[in-house]
Structure 1
Amino acid sequence: MAKHRIYTTSFASVYPLYVAKAEKKGRTKAEVDQVIAWLTGYGPKELKTQLEKKTDFETFFAKAPGLNPSRALITGVVCGVRVEEIEEPTMREIRYLDKLIDELARGKAMDKILRKE
């Protein structure tokens, strides 16, 4: 079975879309970066490096310094699919990020987005 096209898509090509979606709703690039850091463990320097290298999504998640164990608490629907029901691990990670960006753009409080009690 062929891999989904998103796996070979450069994270750097989608990142500006995440930022634009958030900023359109009054959120900031810093908040997008905070969400990415929470999910993946990439700090500002590491994230910048990944963007400059134009790392694809599959590699971006495979090389993530520390995937947050609380990411399993992310539930809901993205693109008509429940994220908690996605079996393929890389696609699930991508959809977790999509869901977090959606929550940010909808104005959800950062503590709720980052799954803090």
Structure 2
Amino acid sequence: MAATRKPEGNADTAAEAVRKFNHATLPNARSRSGSLHYPGQAYSSVAAFKRMAQNLPQSFEQTSGFLTRLHLDGTLTADYGTVADHVSEAEAALAEVSRCADMLADALNRAHSALSPIGYSGEIED
């Protein structure tokens, strides 16, 4: 049986995938667009980022709910200050970032739609 991946490992994999995308698409001496050559690649990439952004609010809400349950169970401690203050601050920040992710997903949806009719009429650089 395969080992179950820990949630933080999945988040780390997503962050690493974005870093690799950024590296792969960085303009360089051989290509002004890195490994992007066709508008369809931009279209597909934006679609994938849109799917990721659409899933982020659930991730943040579930993380916040987890912290709330632990706090209500009385199983959290804090190195300084009160646990309630830290949990409250984390919950507020996670709610804010969830709203930001919704806005990101909406903007990516618009970008994805705008890219859909675009094609390529030139020759590919090597």
TM class by shorter-chain length? under 0.3
Tell me the TM-score normalised to structure 2 length.
0.25
Larger Rg: 2
Tell me the TM-score normalised to structure 1 length.
0.26
- Which one has a larger percent helix, Structure 1 or Structure 2? 2
